[in-house]
Amino acid sequence: MSSHDKPTTGSSPLNYVFGLIFMFGGTFLSVKNIIPITDVLREKGLDLDLGMTIATIGVFLILLPIIKSFFITPLADAITHRNQELERTFSDAETLRSDMQKLRDGYEKQLAESEAKARVQIEAQIKEAQALRQTLVSEATAKADDLLNKAAAEIESEKIKAIMDIRLHVVDLTLAASEKILGQSVDNDVNRRLISEFIDRVEVAP
């Protein structure tokens, strides 16, 4: 049943009764003009018919249930319904705002966690790269040192070999020169040892 179909309230019969009394009584008083104060008001410039005023009040009392049933009550229901819709709208908006805030907080939390994880991974990769660089530097340094040591050993070996070759060549030249001067062979182990010892003394002399 809609608001237009609602029955009149329990006060409607009284409204009708008082309304009819006021309407007919006011009309009678107005027609008969038996209210002395009306003439007094007219003399003072106030054209007020109290009888018609009372009759108008009676008509209003009669029409009041109808006005209330067809206008006031539906208007009040519409206002109430509108207020309920506004309250639901505000409630939905507040719920949506709360959900959006939760989503935002969750997104910011996930973003912070992702940034933290990325930072940890980057730091780990930097440390790994530094460790790898240190290892490569150490390996390269060790290889370089090894190569330098080998080169120094080879140089020393070649130096010793060259000195030995030179000494042998000096001994040979000395023996050959002696043979030419003396006219006889002097190439024997004793002479070679003597020449070698002489060369040693010459090398260590200051």
Question: Which stretches in the chain have pLDDT values below 50?
Answer: 1-10
* Confidence (pLDDT) at 25: 77
pLDDT at 44: 65
Q: Can you give the pTM of this predicted structure?
A: 0.36
**Is the distance from CB of 6 to CB of 73 less than 8 angstroms?**
yes
Say if residues 199 and 168 touch (Cβ distance below 8 Å): no
Q: Give exposure, 65-83, as e/b (b: 16+ Cβ within 10 Å).
A: beebbeeebeeeeeeeeee
Predicted confidence (pLDDT) per residue in 171-200, tens digit: 777 777 777 777 766 667 777 777 777 777
CA atoms within 13 A on the CB side of 143: 6
